[in-house]
């Protein structure tokens, strides 16, 4: 059995469900893109791996703050790692900051790839063209203006970002709306946003 197969088995996954991981707290399985992965460093420190690329056996949690606190309180990281571990006091803050950075990074990738636009008029043009996969708006956006932007396309996935996040991603002083074309980057953004809002306890 390969290392990856052993890890899948340890996390409750079968070959047929290789993209699923089991939360060590809830014991529920979800797609790994919607969960939080942790690894234990050589020094024994629990480290978030939000991109899912760090080497080592993954420890998976549902993206909820209460789940994270339960794992900490019940020493489940140590049990999953089968060793003594150190949990940073600011682990929650590190995860939130990391997820916010991931949203900005993925949105920047979409912008550079020509798959994202900002500005009400440009966004509206793309929405009307029918190839938008995700609509993003600043938390300070006007509800009435947002409804006008989505006119005739209310079923489009729509996510809200903290004030200033869009502007940072597009390198502008001010940005309220953005759209991302259908595809892998739109899905990555949606997944990162879902993890962030779930962890912050702020469902849409």
What is the average pLDDT across 66-87?
96
Collect all residues with Cβ–Cβ distance below 8 Å to 1 and sequence separation of at least 6: 9
Mean pLDDT of the residues in the chain: 88
What average pLDDT does this structure show over 94-117? 91
What's residue 18's pLDDT? 75
Phi, psi (5° rounding) for residue 198? -65, -40
For the chain, give the percent of residues with pLDDT over 70. 90
Q: How large is the average pLDDT for residues 176-181?
A: 96
Residue range 128-147: mean pLDDT, rounded: 94
Confidence grade of residue 129 (pLDDT, cut at 50, 70, 90):
very high
């Amino acid at each position: 059995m390969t290392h990856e197969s052993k890890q899948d088995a340890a996390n409750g996954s079968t070959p047929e469900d290789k993209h699923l991981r089991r939360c060590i707290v809830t014991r529920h399985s979800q797609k790994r893109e919607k969960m939080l992965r942790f690894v234990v460093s050589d020094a024994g420190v629990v480290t978030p791996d939000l991109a899912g690329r760090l080497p080592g056996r993954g420890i998976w949690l549902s993206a909820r703050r209460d789940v994270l606190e339960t794992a900490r309180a019940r020493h489940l990281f140590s049990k999953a790692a089968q060793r003594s571990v150190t949990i940073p006091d600011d682990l929650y803050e590190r995860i939130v900051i990391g997820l916010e950075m991931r949203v900005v990074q993925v949105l920047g990738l979409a912008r550079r790839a020509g798959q994202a636009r900002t500005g009400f008029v440009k966004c509206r043009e793309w929405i009307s063209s029918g190839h938008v996969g995700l609509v993003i708006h600043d938390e300070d956006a006007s509800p009435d203006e947002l409804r006008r932007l989505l006119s005739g396309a209310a079923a489009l996935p729509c996510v809200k970002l903290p004030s200033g996040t869009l502007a940072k991603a597009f390198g502008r002083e001010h940005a309220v709306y953005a759209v991302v074309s259908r595809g892998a980057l739109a899905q990555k953004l949606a997944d990162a946003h879902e993890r962030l809002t779930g962890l912050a306890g702020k469902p849409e």
